[in-house]
Amino acid sequence: MSLTFQASAFLGSVTVKDSCPLINTNSIALVEGNTPSCRILNATTLAFIASSTTLSVPVGITMINALSACIISNSVTTMDLVEVSTGFRQNYSGGATSTNSRTQGGQFIAGDPSTNVALGCTSGNRQLVKFNGNTFAVSLLIVRDNSNDILRSIILKAPGRWLVGTNQGMIFEVDQFGAVIDLFNLRLTTFPLGTGDNTSGSISIPVNQLAYDNNLILADVGAAVLLIDWSTKTILRTVPLQSSSSAPPTLFSTSSSGEILLMGLANATSTYPIFELDMTVAPFTVRGMSYTDTAASVAAVNMNPSGYGWYIDQASPAKIRTFTVSPRATTTRTFTVQSASSGGVNLPARLTLVDDTSGVGTAFVILDTSMQSPAVYRVPTGRTLIEIVKVGLGSLATWDVTRYNT
């Protein structure tokens, strides 16, 4: 097991809405709605470092650089910027009146420290709110797509790039100006929610939660969690993690080294576990877990790159628990498939990675995907892999097989 409980602390009579890791320090920033306030905690000792009041009905918090956290509200048109070492707060106007069709679960706002910009979801059709930490300006953006979806979840994919999920099954990749770089419409795929037993006509596929690592996306769409290859927009796996709770049924942390922490939002038993999932190596197997001590709903789950994870419940008083997380040793590998006869043109291909470390009788598939060359995926280190590449279909398909150590 790689998930180990460290400490817990009561946070008082607060209703925590969201949390995020600070940058370059082992600390946690959270917002709560009772007071309402922003609080900074040391992740190791759980001691308060700073706090401040904040705007009413806060629902999301993100870091836009190492010094400042940006807070979004579900009721006022302003946004807050909080200096995390002192708790100094500054309010900026120009936003939207409500953030989202949901009110809990996080991923309402995502910051990009490389550009000092945060983008947040609003209740308007395709509407994002942008906080520019360079000019301290708040503005509204319209995602330039012809749908009328409401943006429901947002995460940072890479510097200058965000992934946005909508209430109707769209996933956009956008830049800080709202330009659509890439998109995937789940409604138009062979996703079985739309083509299986469903005979009721129009259906909703709310993209509630997202996680990303090296071309792979995990997306909670209410009835299921999907594993998607972003390079080819291929749904690789559909797992119905049904829950008795209201949406979103699962809460994802941000990904770190290809892993996320996951909990059910509403937990029925007092020991219901927190899970550690590996997105890229045999996804949906439990890499680590820990039974907990709460039956209350969960307000926030997150982790930082230093290997500290936590979750905060919605009990009264609220409580935070921290864990150390030891991700699998991994590296990234670029897979290139080119046509020898067409001057090195990059090709789409099927890539299957088989772990052959333990020899005959024990081989197992760790990744099976549809890729667009060149594509980068995370692979475990210290393993022996068989790489199977298929280009084309049917009798015209060509294959390549290599075996190597990572």
- Smallest separation (angstroms) from other proteins to the CB of 404: 11
Are 112 and 156 contacting, i.e. CB atoms less than 8 angstroms apart? yes
Cβ proximity to other proteins: between 154 and 205 the closer is: 205
180-185 vs 48-53, strand pairing mode? unpaired
Cβ proximity to other proteins: between 96 and 186 the closer is: 186
Report which of 104, 84, 123, 125 is spatially closest to residue 18, judged by C-alpha positions.
Answer: 104
- Smallest separation (angstroms) from other proteins to the CB of 362: 5
- Smallest separation (angstroms) from other proteins to the CB of 5: 5
- Smallest separation (angstroms) from other proteins to the CB of 333: 19
Which tokens is 400 given? 């390549």
- Smallest separation (angstroms) from other proteins to the CB of 352: 6
Are 110 and 156 contacting, i.e. CB atoms less than 8 angstroms apart? yes
Quickly list DSSP for 214-259: TTEEEEE-SS-EEEEETTTTEEEEEE----SSPSP-EEEPPPBTTE
Cβ proximity to other proteins: between 123 and 243 the closer is: 243
Are 326 and 316 contacting, i.e. CB atoms less than 8 angstroms apart? no
What are the start-end ranges of the E strands in 43-158? 48-53, 58-63, 68-73, 79-83, 88-92, 109-112, 117-121, 127-132, 137-142, 151-158
Are 237 and 370 contacting, i.e. CB atoms less than 8 angstroms apart? no
Are 130 and 117 contacting, i.e. CB atoms less than 8 angstroms apart? yes
Cβ proximity to other proteins: between 63 and 205 the closer is: 205
At 307, is the secondary structure helix, strand, or coil? coil
- Smallest separation (angstroms) from other proteins to the CB of 92: 35
At 347, is the secondary structure helix, strand, or coil? coil
Cβ proximity to other proteins: between 246 and 381 the closer is: 246
- Smallest separation (angstroms) from other proteins to the CB of 380: 12
**Cα–Cα distance for residue pair 390/28, rounded to 1 Å:** 45
For the chain, what is the largest distance between any 2 Cα atoms, rounded to a whole number of angstroms? 68
- Smallest separation (angstroms) from other proteins to the CB of 266: 5
- Smallest separation (angstroms) from other proteins to the CB of 242: 4
Q: Which residue type occupies 3?
A: L
Cβ proximity to other proteins: between 4 and 77 the closer is: 4
Who contacts 315 (Cβ-Cβ below 8 Å, separation ≥6)?
A: 294, 296
Cβ proximity to other proteins: between 78 and 357 the closer is: 357
Cβ proximity to other proteins: between 55 and 205 the closer is: 205
Cβ proximity to other proteins: between 25 and 324 the closer is: 324
Are 367 and 352 contacting, i.e. CB atoms less than 8 angstroms apart? yes
